Chain A
Amino acid sequence: MTWLNSHPLTFLVFAPTLLGLLLLTLPQTLGKLTRLLGFLGALAIFVLSLAWLLGRAPGAPLAEHAPWFTLVGLPVDYSLAVDGLNFWLVILTTFLVPLTMLGTWNSLKDRIGTFAAMFLLLETGMLGALVAQDLFLFYLFWEGMLIPMYFMIGVWGGDERRYAANKFFLYTLSGSLLWLVALLFLAGKAGSFAPAIMAASASTLPFGVQCWLFLAFAVAFAIKVPLFPLHTWLPDAHVQAPTAGSVILAGVLLKLGGYGFIRFAIPMFPQAAMHFAKPLALLSVIAIIYGALVAMVQRDMKKLVAYSSVSHMGFVMLGLASFTVIGTQGAMLQMLNHGISTGALFLLVGMIYDRAHTRMIADFGGVATKMPIFTTFFIIVTLSSIGLPLTNGFVGEFQILNGTFLSGFAWGRAYAVIATLGVVLGAVYMLWMVKRVFWGPVNPDEDSGTQHLHSDLNAREIAVMLPLVVLILWMGIHPSTFQAVSEAPVATLLKDANAPAIRPLVLPSAPLPVPVEAAVEGHAPASAEVHP
């Protein structure tokens, strides 16, 4: 027990692996039992993570540190920590894994035990990447995630699974290799893989070199996000992946791209990051609009949701590029939002696919008549996805847009206004799909998807959706629960990065006689958020 008390993060990260390896040793004939065991284990890990992370004394960091090995003279440390930046992402991961297992209970018929094992191995990769504080260790987990995901798509995927799996793997890997070169180069200069030491060393390099290093980091992370125009692996991967793969891909894997920026790329190369803030923001705005427009014309529900991810993650990147506390905090929340809402959408699409064996929008129509409970859940998640106030989507987008508008960069105002279009387009593609799938008369075609819907959601499926709906409302009504931990770290990070002060709009001075103290008071709060 003492070991456990001093190594809670090690346990959290590697317990899924141990469990996964155990499942792999069980015979195939025990498939269902294996699945159950996997689910119960993942659930226990979630409960433990909640207990450890929420139960610790406020302000007490959760960290582990030990020297590990030396790589060509460079010490690699086994260094894990949970702080404000990854706190909720860790919980999101441990939460989504068992939930997704339960949500896709009967989706797969084949080698279900092995699938559960892959899923647990993936959980280790994700958790490890989230808590790793040593860049080499981070790299190992980052690349390690690819392997189970590759098998999940390539073995249990749809008809085009091999193409999608290869594309996913090679796309991500090609980005990561450049990054690895940059990583080793900088580690050689710094003599360490610790981010703080590397950052200090990077700041002494010529600005041009810093820019190249930042770009190498940024491209690797941008592919994961995915940021336009590096997004084309996503629709294929999502469409071909089994539901569970899609949920976890959207729910956690994409977040690691944004997390990479806020944890490593921005704090390590703040000057270069701000130098490239404008192109990053421009690509984000394009992603927002482009993803939405392309989502609008999709015929496959899953592909539509995949492109909507491009649009939503564009908001995350825009918030990060604003270099304001409001925008960055909005981006942090938007990452969680997207994990919950898009994860829920993929689960729902999976539920209808399990029944109708089609995901084409045209195959449906009148689903509300057949599946009222399913429809209710779908509408609520849709509202969250289109950012209706009191749902989580609104808070994130609202803060990102306002942060961008206030940003110290000259482009902030225009980009914020243009990005607002994405909010309109988001409603267009989602509600248009809802109309064609759920409303209207029951599709009269004998072979249509609607005709194959014989049962509404069962208790298991409702149990999966309810927590998601509760979170959607909770995050929308009381976002502080999820934003408070990252407020101080984000403010410090931006301060250390020397981010430009926010730019309030200056109203023309009043021609009316104004009492002096009133005028001073009148303008003071507008400049409260000034980074020195």
Chain B
Amino acid sequence: MNKYVWLIPILPLVGAAFNGILGKRAGKRAVTVVALGTVLASLLLSFATFFAMKALPDHRLTVDLGTWMATGSMNIPFGLVVDPLSGIFMLVITGIGFLIHVYSVGYMHEEEGYARFFSYMNLFVFFMLTLVLGSSLPLMFVGWEGVGLCSYLLIGYYYETDFAPDAGLKAFLTNRVGDLGVAIGMMVLFAAFGTLTVGDILVKAGHLGPEVGFGILTFATLMLFVGATGKSAQLPLYLWLPDAMAGPTPVSALIHAATMVTSGIYLICRLAPVFTLAPITMDVVAWVGAATALFAATIGLVQRDIKKVLAYSTVSQLGYMFLGLGASGFAAGFFHVFTHAWFKALLFLGAGSVIHAMHHEQDLFKMGGLRSKMPLTFWTMLAATLAIIGFPGTSGFASKDEILALAYAKSPALWVIGVVAAGCTAFYMLRLFTLAFLGKPRDHHAFEHAHESPRTMTWPLVALAVGSVVAVFLGWPKAFGGDFRIEAWLAPAVTYGQLHVAHHAEEGSQMLPLILAGISTAVGLGMAWFGYATYRNGLAVAEARAAKFPFIHKVLLNKYYVDEGVELVILGPIRWFGNLLWKLFDVIIIDGLGVNLPGALTRVFGDFTALFQTGRVRNYALSMTLGGAVLLYVFLK
């Protein structure tokens, strides 16, 4: 099996190259076959590899593909590692990736840039797999920056518009700010451990105890977390994700919901033992996650664009995952990555189906009553909505409950924030669902023409719906009699190389988890009903309520004015400073005073002395006489 693992990332790369170079000439059919075929082959290989890995005693399959960089003490191989953590993620990427590729065939069929789109999508799969399978931090960074590039290209897919390139640029640059953290984190880890191969770092970290106070590892992990906040859209670097919705909807589903945006969580899980050694970082991760979960959820309450609601929802759910990680629940956080990948991809694709049916209408206020027109979309969206609001028995319930339980153990305040955010989530999701599918149509023209999407689009919806239901079997919480299997599965990966593995103390009453879950579920369901009740008869109730709290409504609608603040406080001053350096320092000080002034002085002096070179004999005779007189005076005095 080892011999073929490298094909898993490389096949989509081949697809990307083919579609990028020859796609336009080869025609849509060939593009489809290559794009879907390579990802499907990759998926099948992933399954085979996954089971080969499970059969190994230490659940760790490594592949060495030669050297990338070698100089001095730096030796970075091209190596891949398949273990339960990267293995599950690999399956998610190729599996959900394939479904979204299928969906895109229908969604993008009229597009001029069909080949370009699939070329970028395949390239994304390649980079995402590199990120996940890479054996060293620099190789993971290849994927990390590479997915950022694909995100940039796909957000800016409609490049002839004004807004899409802006959104793409914003995404890339915000991520670059985060990548600064990753780069610094790597330098620190390399200086501390002498290697950047993840396995070696973990083995060495296995001999260390938790850091007291703010030490080297705290700094390194905080820097890596800065990178994670960029890629996974956490405070304060979340700004790019809502704008990223400018890309085609399948892109939002694959990159900005299911896979790329969870790579920050993946990075932390990958280095879980190192993060565990830095308690301060873990606190920061938990609090930033909780704050983001709540912050983004409140913005989601009032947005009108169906994709914007889902975007803020994603930011919020990613916050949940970090909350879980910060509470030392690496399995819990990653389990939420897994369940979220299914239901959020489904929500986006469902939204895409609606947008497609409504002829590119994204305004929730103009939808309504689509249930009868689009039954398949309706039912699958319902399944996803129930999962995300944590309806008892769904996969979202299982993963969210595990995170909240751990959050309570870390700090009850974190739990409260988490429950409030869950309430907001339930509200805006039911708001979205009600506005789109229930009630009466608000735009009759669009409604008349609405239709269920073609089979290439609905079939993936059904598959994702099945996935988001089945996902629950991987981690039904212990508090409800489950075995939270994923924890045991991931254990070989997240405790790799550790001499002493901390076990979660099973203390406290057996009742407490049930009580907590009961409260959070009640809040969720209550807010869900509240959302449904508010919007079931149209917009009147909500408008009346908004009129009562105009200030809060305006602040939320304008997303707390963060974008405007960033422009005013950061971007504007940087441009001003650049101009100052150029026009004052470069042109006036260095070039003016340092270069041209000496030049000019030389010329002036030359011109001055040239005055004496008149060429007239009588002038020379005069100066000779005067000079002679002066000399005579000096010597004879």
Contact = CB atoms under 8 A, between A and B. Distances in A.
Interface stretch (A253-261, A268-276, A321-329): A321-329
B183 A420 contact: yes
Contacts of B595: 167, 171, 232-233
Contacts of A528: 73, 194
Closest 8 CB pairs of A and B: A526-B194, A439-B165, A325-B72, A529-B73, A511-B209, A389-B142, A293-B578, A297-B578
A285 B426 CA distance: 50
A438 B574 contact: no
A66 interface: no
B171 to A, nearest CB: 10
Contacts of A522: 203-204, 207
Contacts of B599: 170
Interface stretch (B83-91, B184-192, B288-296, B554-562): B184-192
B522 to A, nearest CB: 44
Contacts of B156: 439
A462 interface: no
Contacts of B142: 389-390
Given A296-B575, A439-B159, A508 B215 contact: yes
A502 interface: yes
A388 B164 CA distance: 22
B581 A290 contact: yes
A492 interface: no
A505 B582 contact: no
Interface in B558-614: 574-575, 577-579, 581-582, 585-586, 590-591, 594-595, 599
A416 to B, nearest CB: 6
Interface in B361-381: none
A427 B146 contact: no
B172 interface: yes
B524 interface: no
A401 interface: yes
29 contacts: A232-B586, A290-B581, A326-B72, A326-B74, A389-B142, A395-B69, A405-B187, A417-B184, A423-B176, A424-B173, A428-B173, A439-B164, A440-B159, A440-B165, A477-B68, A480-B69, A480-B70, A491-B72, A502-B73, A504-B192, A504-B194, A505-B188, A505-B216, A507-B217, A508-B208, A510-B207, A512-B499, A518-B207, A523-B204
B145 A388 contact: yes
A329 B71 contact: yes
A191 interface: no
A440 B161 contact: yes
A417 B138 CA distance: 17
A402 interface: yes
Interface string A293-337: 110111000000000000000000000000011100110000000
B140 to A, nearest CB: 10
A251 interface: no
B483 interface: no
A7 interface: no
Nearest to B169: A435
A58 to B, nearest CB: 17
Contacts of B149: 383, 388
A453 to B, nearest CB: 15
DSSP majority for the A interface?
A: helix
Contacts of B141: 389
A487 interface: yes
A399 interface: yes
B448 interface: no
Contacts of B194: 504, 523-528
A524 B207 CA distance: 14
Contacts of A6: none
A398 interface: yes
Nearest to A527: B194
Contacts of A420: 180, 183-184, 187
A294 B72 contact: no
Given A171-B595, A369-B159, A417-B187, 14 more contacts: A293-B582, A389-B145, A398-B69, A399-B74, A402-B74, A420-B180, A435-B166, A438-B159, A440-B159, A440-B160, A479-B69, A483-B70, A510-B208, A525-B73
A487 B575 CA distance: 41
A511 B500 CA distance: 12
Interface in B62-81: 67-74
Interface of A: 167, 170-171, 229, 232-233, 235, 290, 293-294, 296-298, 324-326, 329-330, 366, 368-369, 383, 388-390, 394-395, 398-399, 401-403, 405-406, 416-417, 420-421, 423-424, 427-428, 431-432, 435, 438-442, 477-480, 483, 487, 491, 502-508, 510-512, 514, 518-519, 522-529
Contacts of A403: 72
Given A293-B581, A389-B142, A427 B172 contact: yes
A294 B204 contact: no
A362 B176 CA distance: 25
Contacts of A505: 188, 191-192, 216
Contacts of A325: 71-73
Contacts of B204: 522-523
B195 interface: yes
Contacts of A298: 582
B178 to A, nearest CB: 10
B343 to A, nearest CB: 32
Nearest to B582: A294
B183 A431 contact: no
A526 B195 CA distance: 7
Given A329-B71, A507-B192, A296 B578 contact: yes
A424 B177 contact: yes
B138 A480 contact: no
A280 B78 CA distance: 35
A394 to B, nearest CB: 8
Given A326-B73, A512-B207, A389 B579 contact: no
B4 interface: no
Nearest to B592: A232
A324 to B, nearest CB: 7
A21 to B, nearest CB: 34
Nearest to B277: A507
A386 B204 CA distance: 33
B211 interface: yes
A235 B587 CA distance: 11
A365 B209 CA distance: 56
Contacts of A406: 190-191
A390 B73 contact: no
Interface string B271-285: 000000000000000
A394 B143 CA distance: 13
Contacts of A503: 191
B581 A294 contact: yes
Interface string B93-131: 000000000000000000000000000000000000000
A114 B188 CA distance: 54
Contacts of A514: 207, 499
Contacts of A296: 574-575, 578
A477 B73 CA distance: 19
A398 B71 CA distance: 12
A87 to B, nearest CB: 15
A361 to B, nearest CB: 14
A504 B578 contact: no
B507 interface: no
B176 A402 contact: no
Contacts of A402: 74, 186-187, 190-191
B506 interface: no
B480 interface: no
B543 interface: no
A232 B183 contact: no
Nearest to A427: B176
A477 B211 CA distance: 37
Interface in B6-28: none
A170 B602 CA distance: 13
Nearest to B113: A372
Contacts of A389: 138, 141-142, 145-146
